[in-house]
């Protein structure tokens, strides 16, 4: 195998940035949905999933860092109103998730104790946690609505088209 074909094969196997973003977004969305239902998961899974969600969100931000910097620089200059709205919603969602994750850690009943970190839950932080969780639902819905066109086009490209791609028609003389 030549060096060129080896490089080409590696490039084909490597995920594109769009595909990484897409699957991370899907994982974050389902983790969020599952984590918001503590009756389904129970407190221990809810806490650990929430911590994992916070870590995955940091990775998500790192993947989008160039966009964040680019839009931040243009925020006060020429910028389409849709981009400005997306930026404000994403910033609000980020701040909300940070507060949600931190208050979740502060009111932890299981995860922090398992790590040997003493916490003393209080009514105030529990209430802030509940309010930011409720607000996160609305912000995630807005985030999805603003990105819906990208979600649909990326789903078509990476899921629908590969599943519906036709097999090459049999040529005359081929036997089954």
Tens of pLDDT, residue by residue, the chain (176 residues): 555 554 555 545 566 777 888 888 888 889 889 998 888 889 999 999 999 888 888 888 888 888 788 877 777 677 777 778 888 898 899 899 989 999 998 898 888 888 888 887 789 999 999 999 999 999 999 999 998 998 899 888 888 877 787 655 555 555 55
Query: Of 161, 54, 44, nearest to 111 (Cα)?
Result: 44
pLDDT for residue 167: 58
Asked whether residue 173 is domain-assigned, the answer is: no
Asked whether residue 163 is domain-assigned, the answer is: no
Cα angle at 101 between 25 and 84, to 5 degrees?
55
Q: Which two tokens stand for residue 142?
A: 């807005």
Asked whether residue 9 is domain-assigned, the answer is: no
Asked whether residue 2 is domain-assigned, the answer is: no
pLDDT for residue 66: 86
pLDDT for residue 127: 96
Asked whether residue 110 is domain-assigned, the answer is: yes
One-letter-per-residue 3-state SS of the chain: CCHHHHHHHHHHHCCCHHHHHHHHHHHHHHHHHHHCCHHHHCHHHHHHHHHHHHHHHHHHHHHCHHHHHHHHHHCCCCCCHHHHHHHHHHHHHHHHHHHHHHHHHHCCCCHHHHCCCCCCCCHHHHHHHHHHHHHHHHHHHHHHHHCHHHHHHHHHHHHHHHHHCCCCCCCCCCCC
Asked whether residue 11 is domain-assigned, the answer is: no
pLDDT for residue 130: 95
Asked whether residue 115 is domain-assigned, the answer is: yes
Asked whether residue 130 is domain-assigned, the answer is: yes
Q: How many domains does the chain have?
A: 1
What span, in angstroms and rounded, lies between the C-alpha atoms of 28 and 23? 8
- Name every residue whose Cβ is closer than 8 Å to that of residue 5 and which is 6 or more positions away in sequence: none
- Residue 129's domain comprises 16-157
pLDDT for residue 158: 81
pLDDT for residue 81: 75
């Amino acid at each position: 195998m030549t060096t060129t074909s080896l490089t080409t094969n590696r490039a084909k196997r490597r995920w594109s940035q769009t595909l990484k973003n897409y699957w991370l977004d899907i994982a974050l969305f389902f983790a969020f949905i599952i984590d918001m239902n503590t009756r389904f998961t129970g407190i221990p899974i809810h806490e650990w999933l929430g911590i994992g969600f916070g870590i995955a969100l940091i990775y998500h931000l790192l993947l989008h860092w160039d966009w964040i910097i680019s839009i931040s620089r243009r925020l006060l200059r020429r910028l389409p109103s849709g981009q400005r709205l997306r930026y404000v919603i994403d910033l609000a969602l980020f701040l909300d998730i940070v507060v949600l994750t931190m208050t979740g850690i502060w009111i932890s009943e299981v995860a922090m104790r398992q790590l040997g970190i003493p916490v003393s839950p209080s009514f105030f932080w529990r209430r802030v946690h509940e309010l930011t969780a409720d607000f996160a639902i609305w912000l995630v819905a807005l985030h999805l609505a603003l990105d819906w066109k990208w979600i649909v086009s990326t789903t078509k490209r990476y899921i629908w088209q590969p599943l519906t791609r036709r097999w090459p028609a049999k040529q005359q003389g081929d036997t089954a």
